[in-house]
Structure 1
């Protein structure tokens, strides 16, 4: 496969890097919360930082606000990076198109994992963990969502390295800007309708899930 450095749109770089920063911050603070209260699946015995739950919750709220913006970009501008028909590409094992198809599937899985994380996170009560009350569907689902997220991120890096090598991995952090890649051009490629029924279904799941996450506290509040 070509190892020429690809160009990533500025808007994609901004949104991708902002979401990536929030995801890693949420993963780190989330593990710190787990390491303080749970520890059932192993522990690093990290130093206790005051109000780790509050810090994690604040980061998670910012992630919840940013996720629909990133998702709309992915489905309506950058949809070629998500799962695409024909699904027969998944049968061409070992061929270049197979690796690209896997990469797109992994990218889509990251959006779904993030959606599950915000839904289950909004179901949780801040008193559960300090009270050693771990057997709630919201908390169990939240743990599962972050395991899926970690796996998806690892696969995202591996597949990106396979498809485009180090140039593709580093292109998302490039400072290079084309003359035509300015804010007044960012939305010219915006498509109202998703490019395939598969993407429409995925968008319903993601955007619908995020909408549910916003209103869940109304039903789970004391």
Structure 2
């Protein structure tokens, strides 16, 4: 089965991602999340490379496959973020509190799919992301707060602001002074006439500041898609 998925990924990638690869080769993007630091720019395609699966495909500026998600369908209980070779990096689990109007998502290291509920509960998450409810927030730009550790921990480390629907979001550190990652619409300039063409909402750019983990930044994209799609 694994061999089939790998061969299918390569075949579908060659057939369906050619346009994106060509654009990346002809127009490599150099972006910055702050004026004083360099950043990495990744192209996020809201589509799986595996046939009959919904997911995400993330391509680097050199056209290489950086991350992928193949188990994404609607609002699944667990989402597994994999590297380009199919190795699990992070698992995202939704945790809904019955007596509170707050939704939480827990981020675990590696793959916990298939583990029993008891085993999952005994494993400590590395981050907890809490969606900000409109009725509770003062700043309408805030989308979510990211805490280190589990639900009971209250150490705020990142704040996400903007609009995911319009693919315009920024991830700030706890001081809200530094942007560590950013989601932007992907645009390309046509060689004849200099016309700027947008790729729509299915293909966009994830800019990651140097020193910030790109895998975790992609996990933020998956969470925002869960919260606001």
TM tier, smaller:
under 0.3
Report the structure, 1 or 2, having the larger strand content: 2
Higher relative contact order (CA 8 A, sep 6+): 1
User: Given the two structures, how large is their TM-score scaled by the length of structure 1?
Assistant: 0.24
Report the structure, 1 or 2, having the larger helix content: 1
Larger Rg: 1
